[in-house]
Amino acid sequence: MLAVLLFATGCASSPERMAIAPAATTEAAGLVDIRSLVPDIDLDIRYAGEHNFVGRPVDGYEAPRCLLLVPAAQALARAEHALRAEGMRLRIFDCYRPARAVRHFVAWAHDPGDQRTKPEFYPNLDKGKLLGGYISPTSGHSRGATIDLTLMQCGGDGACSPLDMGTPFDFFDPLANTDSPEATPEQRANRNRLRNAMRQAGFRNYPMEWWHYTLDPEPAPKVFYDVPVR
């Protein structure tokens, strides 16, 4: 469901030890902006604004940019270009995530008094149940090769609209599972279209979240970064 890798927008299982890299800049971490490869890729970087489950800009997001390690950025560019040939495009919600952002998620989850985003992001769960299964102390996004995104269909006039995936991004609920039996046939077909496109570019899906993909194999599976997104 939502991977903070173990958070909700990343593979939740057993906790893993974090080795924070000493890199002080995105360049030192080997992170590149996806728009250096695809200048007009569609970005909706949620954690840089207020439209997210925390309800405010998240620590470490000082600009709405999609940063990734070079191999992941190159693979994402391949996926985007292949989809454009089919009249579709990607919309990116999150890429590299600083470790401090994950700490912000955990602190938010420990605050039962802040329920402002419950109707949109976790309507069927008590906030206290988000820790563990959905929100955990480390995130695969902090390794620089994981992406949250959706698929858009484009018309002849160039206008693109997101396909119906059955839930919003970052929805804490089993309905967000990629193969959820509660999704409609159309929604499951749309999720499969996204999964197939990303698989062909070298990404694997996290089955608990239809929007969550990681380059396979990961370039640096044991290294986490805490450089702010600027």
pTM of the model: 0.92
pLDDT tier for residue 17 given thresholds of 50, 70 and 90: low
Q: pLDDT band for 156, please (50, 70, 90 cuts).
A: confident
> Structural domain tally of the chain?
1
Does residue 216 register a pLDDT over 90? yes
| 16 is a catalytic site residue | no
Residue 50 DSSP symbol = S
Give the contacts of 116 (CB within 8 A, at least 6 positions apart): 55
Is residue 32 situated within a structural domain? yes
Candidates 50, 80, 120, 209; catalytic one: 209
Percent of the chain residues topping a pLDDT of 70:
92
Q: What pLDDT sits at residue 8?
A: 38
Structural domain contains residue 230: no
CA-based nearest residue to 159, from 76, 66, 88, 65: 88
Residue 82 lies in a domain: yes
Residue 224 within any structural domain of the chain: no
CA distance 170 to 167: 8
Using CA atoms, how far apart are residues 229 and 109, in angstroms rounded to an integer? 22
CATH code where residue 84 lies: 3.30.1380.10
Percent of the chain residues past pLDDT 90, beyond the cut: 88
85 CB contacts (<8 Å, ≥6 apart)? none
Write out pLDDT tens, residues 30-53.
999 999 999 999 999 999 999 999
> What is the pairing mode between strands 67-69 and 146-154?
unpaired
| Residue-wise pLDDT tens digits, 76-113 | 999 999 999 999 999 999 999 999 999 999 999 999 99
**How does the average pLDDT of the chain come out, rounded?**
92
| Owning domain of residue 52 | 3-215
Q: Minimal CA–CA distance to 66: which of 99, 32, 37?
A: 32
Residue 220 in any domain: the answer is: no
